[in-house]
């Protein structure tokens, strides 16, 4: 009889533990450097984004999945590429330096890191940092798709994380995840 009482108590303990977990927020901040520019801040609980994404049905985004156009990755099996990188030791895998840009792709401490530095007039810098399990979740959709919903669910398991930073002449874009309901 005592064992039977443990089952409901364990269920209650799990619910209480989940209730104490801080809400994870995804933030997007776009700052224009134009004289009449503006700043846009979007702060959304990850749970809300998970509920809203399946309701969006556009040409590019449907049921939480975004379509990758064939010409973007023609001839590249992203899942196979990911599996090879996941199983490889930490390393800088790609380094391209040209007169127009420098590109670096690396794996470090379970994270995929992509850095692009424009060397010409645009001066655009892009930093993308994504935990490998999130990359795997994104690639779990069908061919030519990224599962954004699965990626968001995987992100819940991580602490404060900078995901994307883009700096260019006219604007700066920053996307990150944390437990604060306001952006910086």
User: Which domain range does residue 99 map to?
Assistant: 25-178
CA distance 141 to 84: 18
* Bridge partners (DSSP) listed for residue 113: 106, 129
Please check whether residue 6 lies inside any domain of the structure. no
Local confidence band at 100 (pLDDT 50, 70, 90 cut-offs): confident
Judge whether 20 lies within some domain.
Answer: no
pLDDT at 3: 47
Number of domains in the chain: 1
User: Do β-strands 111-118 and 101-108 pair in parallel, antiparallel, or remain unpaired?
Assistant: antiparallel
Residue 48 belongs to some domain of the structure: yes
- Give the separation between CA 150 and CA 145, rounded to whole angstroms: 12
- Percentage, residues of the chain above pLDDT 90: 45
pTM for the full model? Answer: 0.77
Q: What is the pLDDT of residues 127-178, one digit of tens each?
A: 999 999 999 999 998 778 899 999 999 998 888 999 999 998 889 999 999 9
In a domain, 91, yes or no: yes
d(CA 161, CA 156): 10
Q: Does any domain span residue 183?
A: no
Structural domain includes residue 43: yes
Lowest mean pLDDT: which of 7-16, 72-81, 97-106, 136-145? Answer: 7-16
Structure tokens at 7: 């089952």
Cα–Cα distance for residue pair 170/147, rounded to 1 Å: 30
Helix residue spans in the chain (DSSP H): 2-20, 46-52, 78-87, 132-138, 148-155
In a domain, 87, yes or no: yes
Beta strands 91-97 and 25-32 are: unpaired
């Amino acid at each position: 009889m005592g064992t039977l009482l443990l089952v409901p108590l364990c269920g209650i303990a799990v619910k209480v533990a989940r209730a104490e977990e801080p809400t994870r927020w995804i933030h997007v901040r776009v700052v224009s450097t134009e004289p009449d520019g503006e700043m846009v801040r979007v702060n959304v609980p990850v749970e809300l984004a998970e509920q809203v994404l399946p309701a969006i049905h556009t040409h590019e985004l449907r049921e939480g999945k975004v379509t990758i156009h064939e010409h973007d990755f023609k001839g590249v099996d992203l899942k196979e590429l990911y599996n090879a990188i996941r199983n490889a030791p930490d390393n800088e895998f790609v380094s391209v330096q040209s007169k127009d840009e420098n590109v670096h792709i690396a794996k470090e401490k379970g994270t995929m890191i992509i850095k692009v530095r424009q060397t010409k007039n645009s001066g655009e810098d892009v930093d993308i940092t994504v935990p490998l399990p999130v990359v795997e979740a994104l690639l779990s959709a069908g061919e030519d798709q990224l599962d954004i919903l699965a990626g968001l669910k995987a992100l819940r398991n991580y602490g404060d994380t900078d995901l994307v930073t883009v700096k260019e002449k006219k604007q700066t874009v920053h996307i990150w995840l944390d437990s604060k309901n306001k952006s910086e």
